[in-house]
Amino acid sequence: MSATDSLAQAATALLGATARRITPLHGGDLSDVLLLQLSDGQAVVAKSGTAPEAEARMLRALAEAGAPVPQVLAVSGAVLVLSHVENDGGPDEEGWADLGTALRRLHATQAPQNGWPEPFAFANLPIANSPAATWPAFWAERRLLPEVPHLPPALARRIEALAATLPEHLPRNSTALLHGDLWSGNLLARRGRLAALIDPACYHGDGEVDLAMLHLFGSPGPAFAESYGPLPPGAETRRAIYQLWPAIVHARLFGAGYHGMIDALLSRTGH
């Protein structure tokens, strides 16, 4: 049985349904995603991944915070089944404003501490989420320093030097609910308006982490910044600090071609 057939079978078994049409969707580089047209006419999305049950809990947390996300219909250790959200392109200016409003609401959802109740992963790359005493300690100990052994020595030394200075740059306590992997590919829009956020990697921390990721591989329209609201002083340095971890993740997953990005981001932090 092919991987596609296996995923479709696992999804329909959870739903107690049959699929009359199976269409592969672009699911990024880390999971398989299928659009299933069920015999009753309903359209659902079946997604594999590293931890479908953990992702389901994240989607439910985002929904409870008022963020637009697909509905979790069923989940097992092998497959996540979601409501199908129509997507016909990227956001227009109104859509970017929608995102700013949605993120402001999301980041207003606070927790008693940073981190997340369970670890996660991007493919075979583990993500440690256990809380730390402070937010700078979390970013150093759970995000930057674990990557040091996987970097060339010169970059590794610069990361270590930066980590030692994080209390000077980052807020001591930050516990906003984060999407955790917010780039343009994880935004769904319909007729230009924001339809849903997908593929979360949630934890609690500084809301600027989501903004940094959003700007790493693209540039939201000006309506986004106006809708989200102003940032405290020092945002440019914090953005570079927060962009370092996804840049390192990309280097580990996709190769040394991202080392130049890491070098440039470190230079922006003064390291």
Sign of CA dihedral 133, 174, 188, 216: negative
Which letter does DSSP use for residue 140 in this model?
I
Please, are residues 38 and 17 in contact by the beta-carbon 8 Å criterion?
yes
One-letter amino acid for residue 262 of the chain: I
- Please list, in sequence order, all residues whose beta carbon lies within 8 angstroms of the beta carbon of residue 21, skipping any fewer than 6 positions away: 36, 37
Burial profile 97-118: b = 16 or more Cβ within 10 angstroms, e = fewer: bbbbbbbeebbebebeebbbee
Which pair of structure tokens corresponds to residue 202?
Answer: 């949630």
Cα distance between residue 255 and residue 248, in whole Å: 10
Q: What are phi and psi of 35, to 5 degrees?
A: -95, 120
CA angle 234, 237, 243 (to 5 degrees): 135
- Interacting residues of 256 by C-beta distance below 8 A, sequence separation 6+: none
Query: Which has the closest alpha carbon to 226: 140, 98, 119, 97?
Result: 97
Q: What are the tokens at 31?
A: 């999971």
Any catalytic annotation for residue 181?
A: yes
Task: Give me the amino acid identity at 45.
Answer: V
Catalytic, out of 98, 181, 199, 210: 181
3-state DSSP call for residue 88? Answer: coil
Report the distance separating Cα 250 and Cα 82, nearest Å. Answer: 27
User: Which residues are identified as catalytic?
Assistant: 181
